[in-house]
Amino acid sequence: MAKLNFNASNEEGMDDFSVVPADEYNVQIVKSEVTETKAKTGTLLKLQYKIIDGKFKGRIVFGQYNLTNPNATAVEISRKQMKTLCDAIGKPDGVDDSTEMHNIPLKVKIGVRPAQGVYAEQNEIKFYAKYEGPKVEGASSNPSANPGNPSAAQSETPKAEEAPASGGAPWAT
């Protein structure tokens, strides 16, 4: 037996990073950081999204965006993704710092990229849309399509979860 003196009440539990099924989910960005690409020829904005309701509440999905890269097409695709993301969170003019995107609910369409070589299957975000309210299992995500469902008619924004940024830098122009 080993004496640990470990107080678990002061610690945060593990996040579940396993793949979620392809579907639409309500999420919010909880962490962000800018890192170098593996080839050290560019920079990436890495975002961590947490699912905020439904069966997979609390699960984590990742997104990354080329801020700078020798491949101009990769940067162009990322800029389009970032524009759509900013529109979905109500910041159509963009942001100066990645933390400005944290804790704002939005809806994303998530796909599953099959395993390739040494890489396991993983989720990828296919599209971003405005948050329409809590997801109700077995009901349309459009509240007006469920007039008899009081929880579907509510469009309260969930309480923002506290999550420290693990970095953050302005969106490169």
Number of structural domains, the chain?
A: 1
Domain membership of residue 1 (yes or no) is no
Residue 37 has pLDDT above 80, yes or no: yes
Residue 19, classified by CB atoms within 10 Å of its CB into exposed (0-12), middle (13-18) or buried (19+), is middle
Domain membership of residue 166 (yes or no) is no
Distance between CA 155 and CA 142 in Å, rounded?
10
Least confident of 12-26, 60-74, 86-100, 135-149: 135-149
Beta strand pairing status for 43-51 and 122-130? unpaired
Domain membership of residue 168 (yes or no) is no
The parent domain of residue 64 ranges over: 15-153
The whole-number average pLDDT for the span 40-69 is 97
pLDDT the model gives residue 166: 35
How would you classify residue 168: left for phi > 0, otherwise alpha for psi between -120 and 50, otherwise beta?
A: left
Domain membership of residue 170 (yes or no) is no
Residue 14 has pLDDT above 50, yes or no: yes
